[in-house]
Amino acid sequence: MEDAFKKAPATEGQHKPTHRRHSAVQGAGEAEGRSCLLALTTPSGKSLREAWTGVLAVVSSGAGDPSSRGLAPFSASPPPLWDCHSCPAGPPARLSVTDSPPLQRPGEARLFNPVAAFWNSALWGARAPPEDGLLTWAGAPPARSQPRPALPCCPCVPAPAMAVRVPLWDHYLQAIRSRGASRAQDYQRAENVLLTVLERVQELDPRFLVDYSRHLEAFQFALRSSEDPVDMEVPLWVDAEALVVEEAGAAEAGDGPPSCRLGVSREGAGLERWMAEDVSSVSLEGSAKCCSHIVPSKVLRVLKDLLVAAIVHCKHQSLITPGSLNVDSLREEELHLSLLVSSGWRTVRFNVVPVVRRRHRVPALEGAQLTHGFPEGSLKRVINQEVALVPAGDQHWRVSTDYLLTRLLSALGSFPGHRLDSLSILDRVNRESWRDGGQSPGLTFRHLKTVLLWAAVLFPGPEDWADLQGAVYRLLVVLLCCLATRNLPHFLYPEWNLLKGAGLDLNALYQRVERFASQPEPSLRIHVTHLGRSPPPRIGNGVKALLQLPASNPAYWATAYFDVLLDKFQVFNIQDKDRISAMQNIFRKTETLDSEGC
């Protein structure tokens, strides 16, 4: 197989190929409970018999008896081909990588097999094979005196019980996890470039600081698949407790935390730098407490000029890699500065936001209803964190809780189970299926993160998150309910609807999410290994009426109601008698809706 791979020098008794040849994997038997069998792709113009002979020749050349090289389990003749001319799948031979022991003579020692090592390297890639350097036939090893059995290769023959079958959900999660480390590295490289520029900004104007403490953004970036912008906060060097916070009130009830103005006190020490005309405006009300107010629009303008000067300086001094950052990408948006930073093959968009850090009470974090959904002590640590006041308009600031929510998200990662995995899966499905590869507007990672936080409170038990599919459906039932009622409450400000003003087609979005929840298999197939028939839909039409109940009665926003929904989707596997009883009580109240086709 000289055209398939090149033979590399032996290292510690193992040949490592310099060229990896990909193989097609067919899982047509998955729907019937049969395992996926690996079909080895042969070089162009060669049959499998010729290719197999070539592999033996390469490995055994110059080594005498093949058995001395660990080839005793394999004969010089190629493996027999499955002959089933009546089957439309055709006659190609197939091999299965399984956990079965290596083929060997009774009583003889296990020998390292370089042929198996090559195929395992080609087929498994970076993933560890089930047996180091072992490629085995599917099923139990035959006796040495018997001819080798024909390999199952088509729907006519069931796969052996020992063949490995990985669920579709786990395949999908493995694909996401395989990119997590590279995403984190790309983010850190991009972040280092931006921090280098911000260090120069601080040198030019000490009123703007560099924050090295927000290390959770890399964790969050690796967790998701979407390319939504990442906030980079630039703290202002000011004693926030000496500022006068003047509440301005929300524009409309339910629009979120109230906005405010930041006044510079006449008696405040060390506030002279914030009385300058470039960042503040004189108070027109003639307040006895304030002589001026810090204006967000002016602060953004000063910060933009400093960023341009810092980027030019860093380029001339070769402090940043050429092409990693361009002044042309710096755009002044309404409430932030948008900046594109290149990191190898990936480009990360940062929203540079000036912030004022100060103590601020968040009543929702003090509620007892959250304690069961998060690790002990985590809420107390989050409560002690400062919140950020970010621009909310030309003159006003507002409270941002994004970092607090990220801290809560990180706390969920200390629990066993699939809480964060379910978020990663839904974010990937949202990007690829619900947003057409990120080309269409739709839900953001912020929306899905809020859904997970609510699901963690509604389902605090570890048994809810033990199964990957069940964990994903915990998020799905909450998300479907929010889309049906057109209300996704902010986790820390429940009166704030995150879907309001987002410009989303909620009806179309609901249809996509419900279609996925009813029949998720088509959206989970990202590789040829996942081919196979899909099971029938989990639910029928009319479930939307059941999902709208919390809009008419907030008491339905409870675990028992969502357990009813999980039962509808056939993923309620809880054995707790109290939860089952509570679910049955809610179910009896909804029997009328159920009789109408729910």
| Tens digit of each residue's pLDDT (9 = 90 or more) over 424-470 | 999 999 999 999 887 888 999 999 999 999 999 999 989 999 999 99
Per-residue pLDDT at 480 exceeds 90: yes
Whole-prediction pTM: 0.70
Rounded distance between C-alpha atoms, residue 486 and residue 508, angstroms: 12
Averaged over 216-233, what is the pLDDT?
A: 88
% of the chain surpassing 70 pLDDT? 66
pLDDT in tens, 77-89: 444 333 344 444 4
Distances (CA, A) of 569 to 176, 328, 464, 483, 587: 24, 50, 14, 17, 14
Query: Residue 290 pairs with which residues in a beta bridge?
Result: 265
Instruction: Answer whether residue 289 shows pLDDT above 90.
Output: no
Q: Is the pLDDT of residue 473 over 90?
A: yes
**Separation between Cα atoms, residue 587 and residue 598, nearest integer Å:** 11
More confident call, 182 vs 49 = 182
Residue 267: phi and psi, rounded to 5, are -100, 0
pLDDT of 34 > 50? The answer is no
Q: Is residue 198 pLDDT above 60, yes or no?
A: yes
Asked whether residue 212 carries a pLDDT value surpassing 50, the answer given is yes
- Tokens standing for 532? 């196979």
- Read off the pLDDT of each residue in 525-544 and give the average, rounded to a whole number: 68
User: Once rounded to an integer, what is the mean pLDDT over residues 71-78?
Assistant: 38
Examine the pLDDT at 527 and tell me if it is beyond 80: no
Residue 524 has pLDDT above 60, yes or no: yes
pLDDT, the chain, mean: 74
* Whole-number Å distance between alpha carbons of 476 and 458: 13
In contact, 388 and 213? CB cutoff 8 Å: no
* pLDDT at residue 145, as a whole number: 42
- Which residue, 360, 565, 364, is CA-closest to 457? 364
pLDDT of residue 258: 79
